[in-house]
Structure 1
């Protein structure tokens, strides 16, 4: 079995896309996933499955569409990929709560950083299927604009590290 995390986009953030984590766990269990659990209330489902990543994503998105009445994008990583993201962190000196990892289904466009607007001291770096952003003094006052908002979901590095640990436990 492979250990996975499914990262739901736009769930329980800013009052949109409300989804109880108990309901999310129940969906995972109904799909036959093992060791199903959630991490914080922002749409992180951790589980084990024999299915490949693409099938996990398709099944979760289909179940979530029925539940929410609209498409809920899901980005999936296995335990090894999440551990590799943590190990490859280009900003290990960044404060974990102000250092975001934006997850994509495929490698981000190579020009995504060049296309960013209003960079004011933030540090950005491309990963394999991620964009790392260190917001320095904090995300609260940033003016940074990254294109393709609908194509990604973000988690802070503290959460990414914790989920990597939980998946490898």
Structure 2
């Protein structure tokens, strides 16, 4: 069995695409996933499964759409991948000043080199980013809602979902 972290994109934002975590947990358990645990309402799930990530992601997207009536991109990482992602973060929580944050964009696929180069070349004082494979680490000196850099993520043209660093760390503790 492999431990996975599933990050659902775009649920429970405002009044749209509402899914109760208890209903999501029940669905995943009926699909045969084990030790299913959810965290907060934004679609974070830790579970065990024997399927490979690509097949599992497709299956989850299909079943969530069928059950809840709207499409939801599901981005998966294994526990091992997830721990490496945390280890690879170039920014430190200890050095954050008031109003600053670290955010992590999980991408479904690696963007093209052209799209990555475009994001890296985007000048967005005071924010910065570090791109590593299917993750974009954002160091924001303002709210993510005000960040011109964060607003460029859709231009990578791959499904993505963003989590703040506190959520990233909390999910890591749920793996253990």
Q: Normalising by the residue count of structure 1, what TM-score does the alignment of the two structures yield?
A: 0.89
Q: Secondary structure at the match of 2:45?
A: strand
Task: Choose which of 74, 91, 101 in structure 2 pairs with 1:98.
Answer: 101
CA deviation vs aligned residue, 1:68-97 (integer Å, no higher than 9, x gap): 323211000010111001100011246498
| Structure 1 pair 26–95 and aligned structure 2 pair: CA distance change class (3 A) | farther
Q: Secondary structure at the match of 2:146?
A: coil
Q: Distance between the aligned counterparts of 1:10 and 1:118, measured in 2?
A: 27
Q: Secondary structure at the match of 1:125?
A: strand
Shift of 1:141: 2.9
CA deviation vs aligned residue, 1:90-118 (integer Å, no higher than 9, x gap): 11246498211111122233344543456
* Residue in 2 that maps onto 1:86: 86
Give runs of aligned pairs for residues 113-124 of structure 1, distance below 5 A: 114-116=117-119, 119-124=124-129
Q: Which has the higher helix share?
A: 2
* Residue in 2 that maps onto 1:127: 132
* Residue in 2 that maps onto 1:109: 112
* Residue in 2 that maps onto 1:30: 30
Q: Normalising by the residue count of structure 2, what TM-score does the alignment of the two structures yield?
A: 0.86
Q: Secondary structure at the match of 1:115?
A: helix
Give runs of aligned pairs for residues 71-82 of structure 1, distance below 5 A: 71-82=71-82
Query: Is this contact kept in 1: 2:7–2:161, CA < 8 A?
Result: yes
Query: Is this contact kept in 2: 1:101–1:154, CA < 8 A?
Result: yes
| Structure 1 pair 126–150 and aligned structure 2 pair: CA distance change class (3 A) | closer
Q: Distance between the aligned counterparts of 1:12 and 1:24, measured in 2?
A: 12
CA RMSD of aligned residues (A): 2.1
* Residue in 2 that maps onto 1:161: 169
